[in-house]
Structure 1
Amino acid sequence: MLKIAPSILSCDFANLGKEVNDMKLAGADLIHVDVMDGHFVPNISLGLPVVASLRKSTDMFLDVHLMISDPLTYGPQFADAGADMVVFHIESDSPPQAVIDAIKSKGKKVGISLKPKTAAQEVFPYLDQLDMVLVMTVEPGFGGQKFMADMCPKLEIIRRECERLGLLTMDIQVDGGIDNNTIAAAYSAGANVFVAGSALYGKPDYKKAVDELREHARSAI
């Protein structure tokens, strides 16, 4: 199933609740929340209080992407704060299995993210325990970067392995540089969940922007 995930990193933070619910009305499927600690990536974004506030103001599915060094400590806290899914980086300092177990113990969905230089095979041992794999199509830490088309083979490898294992409903998400010009390549390579920032929140008509992304993705079929 094709899903559109607006990234609030590009929204108007002075009107965060409204921005999120406007995307719901526009037909978005989930909200992507980027959490950066200034250590794992060279930038700092938002934290637990923002997720907790969002949870009170929307019923949208909150997909929280932890670009942090210690997801084992903070992942469960974001789950408690209201995240519906916690996605952490396999390159973090925390043991992946321990993080998966900690998030699942909270009754929440869990995903693993891969930086561009990390091989697809790194996630294979955990696939049967995951709800989603996130393939970064830019270097994590900053918005507005150009889509890395050379990540498409990685998407293909992960999708093929999921199919081999019978994980036919696995979500594969891409984050970075997704717009009307790049979404079709990612979709045809195996991604089905698309994080978009300025391609959505930078537009005057959110519904039109969401619809156009879907149409351009499906043009790859």
Structure 2
Amino acid sequence: MQVGDTITLKEKYEGKQYRVKIAKVIPYAAGIAVFMPIDQFNETFEMKVDLFDQGFRDPALLLKRLSTPGKPEYFTGYFSKEKLTDIDEKYISSCITEDDMTKLSRQMNVSMGGMFEMIKWFAVALAVLIIYLLTKLILERNTTAISMVKILGYENGEIGRLYLITTTWFVLFSIIISLFLSSVTMLEIYQALMINYNGWISIYYSPQVYPIMVLMVLGAYALVALVQFRRIKKIPMDEALKNVE
């Protein structure tokens, strides 16, 4: 939705429809909402103050409203970044603090944090397995060639760089592509899930997550590369002679 678009709001129970034009789009992480001036809201949705109910709950407030010129205004509440000190406590239904808003995230971290830690290390183990199988396949298919270059006088370090550097670039490229695709995919899935909820929780990736993920995969690759380098050292020179036809 963009500024100038017209949207239709449908009343859930009475079937009424209201067409409103978007004048401005603002970031609001708490949910998907439509904001409008209180006077326009009262007029559009025909919201009126129930004087009888108000007089029953607070006669003093009713007398004050009746003595004040103008039409009584309906309102649902106030949003404020600071504590309101000029309102009587009896008129305050609830006060939501930052601690209240973050309580759910803390509870989820306590109850599910251990599971996410397990998933993290499982992903590292899976990365080790995939990289190991990839490098193992490359070395097995080039065993004869490795033996031949040993006969030609190449050192183990030179052979390791020859075969493992290509794999290193492939791993780095895969990490970058995977981070981008996973971030975009998770964002799309998360937004699709949140549309079905009444509220809204913004998704946030900490900047330190990406370098940590890269370092973890590179650490896994370094471990595999060390194992495969030892495998290269164990390939004998006579392996090339055995397979000569």
Which structure has the greater CA radius of gyration? 2
Indicate the structure whose relative CO is greater, using CA pairs within 8 Å and at least 6 residues apart: 2
Give TM-score scaled by structure 1 length.
0.21
Q: Name the one with the larger strand percent.
A: 1
Give TM-score scaled by structure 2 length.
0.19
